[in-house]
Chain A
């Protein structure tokens, strides 16, 4: 793919979120640097809260191409999505990404919403039997990683490990799902 502003190959694939719409930019290294610097300058304006917000603006600040490249390769240990893939698609891979990429997402979310703490409704999980469930669902999301691990274990014919993971998945799901609904 060519850079959208010259004939050099596009190495930066930037996703901008504006008013909920996703806009994609494909730029060579030079044009990407120009673009990111512009975003940075724009982000420093006295406007209290930019509307829409950009996915890249917080990433451009003082980061070298190498640092960006390293960050792009960071992958979620549950669903496997890389930060690069997220930036490209504008969609996260699983609930754990909000924990795994928390540091990277924080400035981005602040930019979009002008806030970094939820203040709305929260789930109520009445304790029925045994230990009450936590408010956050991280322990249940861990099942995504266990399922991948189980598949891998089966492929390696490590049936002992596969069986252990299967039991852990079943126990976790039971703990979260066997609740009265009425």
Chain B
């Protein structure tokens, strides 16, 4: 592997990404706000129809052109095509690249800014996918930042555009604005009180999509859910931002009320659940990623309800990512099979919860 890419990955391993910070407005419930834009270079076929040589040329063209604009000068490139499987998985867990880019073929890369707020995927489903992510609820901040990056790149790259259809994308589901606005929410109380399905059915009616954080299907792991717009054509970017943004305060309100209900009506019960979750995380000898996420989710809620005192939220956010399979292996510096990972994960968690609580936020 290219030594500079290796260095980038080491830096990432030891840093805390933007969305893990656990800060920003409403960060007790909103994990992160994200916007992505799908763009294509007009003079090449879309990725699925591009030859190996086309893909290499597209990659080179975009890198050279993006380097000409101010926003492009602060980016570090990682050549995803030449990464080991574990390193690709690492970037997926970090939410810097999609599973699709990780599993794709041929020339492809990701460019990341130093704060892990902006990432550009080259040769995913579209030639260019620009993503911007902030901690907490900050869609306006994200939009202002990504708009600037997009404008600058457009001065150097002729994005495929049609007066009627807007920005042209490989899949007609993204055509027009090419925008996907999404907000990641932590909704444990709505899950415990069994109101979550009802909430999601009403979201589908206003054409918003809901999906779990890491789960492939609709089953969300650890009560983390992502809400995003389904349509991209016929509304302006601002209207689509509003469509998602308007529903978030409502969901926050539901979740807060459900949390209050739990404390008021089932005080002992919820305290018991949270304490047991915390107990398992501090003492287990072997533990899966799924169970870890589920328990961390409950502990996170417990901390926010004041039922656990000596843990801070950003430390839990960090553990949510660092206990994922590839992160665990990168931190340990070893390839581990599932059984050994479960042992290592339990060891890592015990170490972090020892004494005066996790130190994960301290770097």
The finding on whether chains A and B are genuine partners in a shared complex, rather than unrelated, reads yes
| A159 contacts partner chain B, Cβ-Cβ < 8 Å | no
| A9 contacts partner chain B, Cβ-Cβ < 8 Å | no
B residues less than 8 Å from A91 (CB atoms): 46, 48-49, 125, 170-171
- Whether B48 lies near A93 (C-beta < 8 A) is yes
5 of the cross-chain contacts (CB-CB < 8 Å) are A95-B160, A112-B172, A122-B161, A181-B65, A181-B152
Which of B42, B49, B167 contacts A93, CB < 8 Å?
Answer: B49
CA gap between A42 and B125 in the complex, in Å: 30
CA gap between A81 and B166 in the complex, in Å: 21
Residues of A within 8 A of B (CB): 17, 19-20, 49, 51-53, 78-79, 81, 89-95, 98-99, 105, 108-109, 112-123, 135-138, 140-141, 143-144, 172-173, 176-177, 179-182
- Whether A119 lies near B175 (C-beta < 8 A) is no
A residues less than 8 Å from B161 (CB atoms): 122-123, 135-137
A residues less than 8 Å from B202 (CB atoms): none
B residues less than 8 Å from A121 (CB atoms): 177, 236-237
Question: Nearest chain-A residue to B236 (Cβ)?
Answer: A120
- Whether B207 lies near A109 (C-beta < 8 A) is no
Besides A137-B42, A177-B158, A179-B156, 6 more A-B contacts (Cβ < 8 Å) are: A91-B170, A112-B231, A120-B179, A121-B177, A123-B159, A181-B68
CA gap between A39 and B171 in the complex, in Å: 21
B residues less than 8 Å from A137 (CB atoms): 42, 158-162, 168
Question: Nearest chain-B residue to A148 (Cβ)?
Answer: B45
Task: Evaluate whether A144 and B45 lie within 8 angstroms (CB atoms) in the complex, with A118-B176, A123-B159 already known.
Answer: yes
Question: Nearest chain-A residue to B155 (Cβ)?
Answer: A181
- Whether B69 lies near A181 (C-beta < 8 A) is yes
CA gap between A119 and B44 in the complex, in Å: 25
Give, as a whole number of angstroms, the nearest-CB distance from B81 to chain A.
20
Q: How many A-B residue pairs have CB under 8 A?
A: 151
CA gap between A144 and B44 in the complex, in Å: 6
Task: Evaluate whether A92 and B170 lie within 8 angstroms (CB atoms) in the complex, with A120-B235, A179-B155 already known.
Answer: yes
| B163 contacts partner chain A, Cβ-Cβ < 8 Å | yes
**Most A-side CB within 10 Å, residue of B172, B177, B207:** B172
B residues less than 8 Å from A113 (CB atoms): 175-176, 231-234
| B154 contacts partner chain A, Cβ-Cβ < 8 Å | yes
A residues less than 8 Å from B177 (CB atoms): 118, 120-121
A residues less than 8 Å from B48 (CB atoms): 89, 91, 93
A residues less than 8 Å from B179 (CB atoms): 120
- Whether A81 lies near B235 (C-beta < 8 A) is no
Question: Nearest chain-A residue to B177 (Cβ)?
Answer: A120
Question: Nearest chain-A residue to B240 (Cβ)?
Answer: A120
CA gap between A172 and B276 in the complex, in Å: 67
Give 1 or 0 for each of B194-214: 1 = CB within 8 Å of chain A CB: 000000000010010100000
| B264 contacts partner chain A, Cβ-Cβ < 8 Å | no
A residues less than 8 Å from B234 (CB atoms): 113-119
Give 1 or 0 for each of B42-75: 1 = CB within 8 Å of chain A CB: 1111101100000000000000010011100000
- Whether B173 lies near A141 (C-beta < 8 A) is no
A residues less than 8 Å from B43 (CB atoms): 140-141, 143-144, 172-173, 176
Give 1 or 0 for each of B94-116: 1 = CB within 8 Å of chain A CB: 00000000000000000000000
- Whether B236 lies near A51 (C-beta < 8 A) is no
Task: Evaluate whether A118 and B172 lie within 8 angstroms (CB atoms) in the complex, with A51-B207, A140-B158 already known.
Answer: no
